[in-house]
Amino acid sequence: MDKNEFWKSKSKELVFLLLDLFKENKFYYSLCSIINKSNDVVDKLRKFLFKNALIEEKRLNHDFYIDVLKEEHAIVLGGIVEELTKNVLFYNFNNKIQYKEAETNFNFFANLAFETYNIILLGRCGKKYTQEILDHKEIILKKAIYLSKISLNLIYKEFKEIKTINTHPIMNIVFEEINFYLLADSDLLINNCLIDFKNLNAPLLRSTAKAQLFGYGLFYYYLNNKSFDKIYYLNPRFNFLKELKLPK
């Protein structure tokens, strides 16, 4: 079965599962909540996602490893690295310049990423940075710049020419008087390839992450009637950008 036939077939299965869910009085579940919180309402869909979880075929050398200190706040750091990398990529793409020419802008983009991710956290969980995170800002940004440069090198090495760049799903923004809230961050989309950032301290993805990435690919096909060309996950702490394969 080729790639498009695979997604088409799974999309048909998804329709029946969604029809069951629509019968419920309440229907509002994020993909993450379906995968992480099993209950009677979503259990069939959850099992379907895990059954079709994407596969890591390519084993890489994991000797490369970058530690993250407590003061660098791993979870927040990961989000800032992603936002910083996107900032530089979009800037370079829109200004048609090479990666090396944006070096002098890293501090500006890092500060922008720090502020952006604070807003993302507010939209996601209703909370902003703690005072401790604000106090450790310079420490966090120093490591974020280091990891972002690794991420950019990996991306530019894989994509010799970037023809299109976007996010998926496209960022949802709600305006409320003079304030605006980003409801969720979005994964990177380059040349119709999805790149999911994972700033993890383990080289291999958990089953939940692989099921989630299958879900991203599935819903993309379901909504657009076309599939991603490839699905990757990027972990700068292990210095790799790894393509995930469809289940056999």
Question: Domain ranges in the chain?
Answer: 1-63+201-248
Percent of residues, the chain, with pLDDT higher than 70: 85
Question: Quick one: which of 10, 2, 35 has its CA closest to 217?
Answer: 10
How many angstroms separate the CA atoms of 217 and 220, rounded? 5
The pLDDT value given to residue 57: 79
Question: Quick one: which of 187, 173, 226, 184 has its CA closest to 89?
Answer: 187
| Secondary structure (3-state) at 222 | helix
Number of other residues whose CB lies within 10 A of the CB of residue 118: 18
Q: What is the mean pLDDT of the chain?
A: 85
CA angle 99, 107, 111 (to 5 degrees): 120
Q: Which two tokens stand for residue 248?
A: 């056999």
- Residue-wise pLDDT tens digits, 25-35: 555 567 777 78
How many angstroms separate the CA atoms of 149 and 236, rounded? 9
Average pLDDT of span 218-233: 92
Looking at this protein, which amino acid is placed at residue 65?
Y
The pLDDT value given to residue 17: 86
Question: Quick one: which of 68, 89, 93 has its CA closest to 147?
Answer: 68
